[in-house]
């Protein structure tokens, strides 16, 4: 019997949502939440002996401490296999799943497996360290994700040969292998070209990355009359971070009034951003969000007006999907407020 320990966050553990994201790690005997479906999919050859539950915020704000605590919990069960998630497109959850899997693999030397959406920041961070089953971007894809996880998990536990990403359903790891084909590469290339010219289906042997291309807007004709807004992924917030924007894998953004504010002082502003030394940003937040310089330009007539609100979030590990969602929301507000140009800053 293959002994499995499963990792989930506070939401799937039935403890609560964002208001409970700061709970410390705990371990429960047997299956919890999605572990029920996973247990059924694993079948009679594997048993989920315990489930670790940890709040997403607690883990990402205390990575070293949380990792050590969770490793100690897992060790007591001497598992043969460790599974985390699925995390779908939840950024902090994905980072936690990847981090724990990597730590278990390195410290306990057992197979690990997680699952998440390809645009989850955890996927890009950890796809070279472990197998990550590709899922839909939301929990509505649970029915498809669990069987794929179970199938690959059993193969890993039994030390069976693992096929290609297309065969097994995991996110490509960037590994290239030499294969022998009956036809030369030149002939295969010509066959693909002919199929493409005919409008027929073909499959490239070397898929290229797909990058978004954003067409630039027309330039502002007269900056001296333009209303300019500040937007940042550098996490600048009023002192105390009133909206509790996460230091990593942000699920929200903030909108703050700077009407009459000439300078972001140490007493009034700070950064919520994790992943870099915040000291200099906390001493003078204008280093990340240049309100003072824009006020000078306003006085000198170089720009028409600085918009009274700035928008902020943290870019550290924040998913592409969330970033697009944030921008599409506040971009409409900026347009409605007559903003003609935006200065976007980061760390």
CB-CB contact of 108 with 74 (8 Å) = yes
Q: Per-residue pLDDT tens for 213-255?
A: 888 888 999 999 999 999 999 999 999 999 999 888 788 999 9
Give 82-132 as a DSSP string.
Answer: EEE---TT-HHHHHHHHHHHHHHHHHH---EEEEE-TTSHHHHHHTTTSEE
Identify whether the C-beta of residue 261 lies closer than 8 Å to the C-beta of residue 338.
no
Query: What secondary structure does DSSP assign to 192-254, as a single string?
Result: HHHHHHHT-----SSPPP-----PPPPPPS-GGG-EEEEEESB-EEETT-TT---SSS-S--E
- Report the mean per-residue pLDDT for the chain: 92
Residues 6+ apart with CB under 8 A from 204: 192
Q: Are 87 and 97 in contact (CB under 8 A)?
A: yes
Q: What is the pLDDT of residue 333?
A: 95
Q: Closest Cα partner for 295 from 282, 316, 310, 279?
A: 310
- Burial of 172 (C-beta count, 10 Å sphere; 0-12/13-18/19+): middle
Distance CA 25, CA 51 (A): 10
Cα–Cα distance measured from residue 171 to residue 115, given in angstroms and rounded to the nearest whole number: 9
pLDDT on residue 344: 95
- Predicted local confidence at residue 286, as pLDDT: 96
For residues 241 and 245, give the distance between their C-alpha atoms in angstroms, rounded to a whole number: 7
- Which pLDDT tens digit goes with each residue over 289-327? 999 999 999 999 999 999 999 999 998 878 777 888 899
DSSP 172: P
Give the SS3 label for residue 170.
strand
Q: Above 80 in pLDDT, residue 177?
A: no
Band of pLDDT at residue 267, cut at 50, 70 and 90? very high
CA–CA dist 65, 158 (Å, integer): 32
CA 325 to CA 318: how far, in whole Å? 11
Taking residues 263-273, what's their average pLDDT?
A: 95
Q: Which two tokens stand for residue 71?
A: 């490793």
If one compares 40 and 45, the residue with the highest pLDDT of the two is 40
Contact assessment for residue 60 and residue 274, using Cβ atoms and an 8 Å cutoff: yes
Distance of CA 181 to the CA centre of its chain: 38
What is the distance in angstroms between the CA of the first residue and the CA of the last residue of the chain? 49
Domains of the chain, earliest start first: 2-168 (3.40.50.2000), 223-345 (no CATH)
Q: How far apart are CA 125 and CA 318, in angstroms?
A: 12
Q: What is the DSSP letter of 269?
A: E
Average pLDDT, integer, range 37-45: 92
Give the C-alpha separation, 160 to 182, whole Å. Answer: 27
């Amino acid at each position: 019997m293959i002994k499995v320990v499963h990792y989930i966050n506070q939401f799937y553990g039935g403890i609560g949502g964002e208001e409970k994201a700061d709970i410390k790690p705990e371990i429960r005997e047997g299956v919890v939440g999605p572990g029920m479906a996973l247990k059924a999919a694993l079948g009679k050859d594997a048993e989920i002996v315990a489930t670790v539950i940890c709040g997403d915020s607690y883990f990402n704000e205390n990575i070293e401490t949380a990792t050590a605590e969770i490793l100690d919990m897992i060790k007591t069960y001497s598992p043969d296999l460790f599974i985390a998630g699925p995390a779908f497109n939840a950024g902090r959850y994905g980072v936690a799943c990847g981090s724990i899997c990597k730590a278990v693999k390195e410290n306990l030397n057992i197979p690990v497996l997680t699952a998440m959406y390809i645009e989850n920041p955890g996927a890009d961070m950890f796809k070279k360290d472990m197998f990550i089953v590709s899922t839909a971007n939301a929990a509505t894809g649970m029915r498809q994700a669990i069987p794929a996880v179970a199938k690959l998990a059993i193969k890993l536990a039994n030390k069976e040969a693992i096929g290609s990403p297309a065969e097994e359903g995991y996110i490509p790891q960037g590994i290239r292998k030499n294969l022998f084909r009956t036809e030369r590469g030149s002939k295969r290339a010509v066959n693909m070209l002919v199929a493409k010219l005919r409008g027929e289906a073909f499959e490239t042997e070397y898929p290229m990355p797909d990058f978004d291309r954003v067409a630039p807007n027309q330039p502002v004709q007269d900056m001296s009359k333009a209303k300019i807004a500040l937007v940042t992924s550098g996490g600048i917030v009023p002192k105390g971070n009133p909206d509790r924007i996460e230091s990593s894998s942000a699920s929200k953004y903030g909108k703050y009034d700077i009407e009459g504010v000439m300078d972001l002082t140490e007493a009034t502003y700070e950064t919520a951003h994790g992943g870099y030394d915040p000291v200099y940003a906390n001493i003078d937040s204008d280093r990340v969000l240049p309100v003072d310089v824009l006020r000078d330009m306003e006085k000198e007539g170089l720009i028409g007006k600085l918009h009274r609100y700035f928008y902020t979030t943290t870019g550290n590990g924040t998913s592409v999907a969330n970033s697009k969602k944030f921008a599409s929301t506040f971009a409409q507000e900026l347009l409605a407020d007559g903003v003609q140009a935006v200065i976007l800053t980061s760390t």
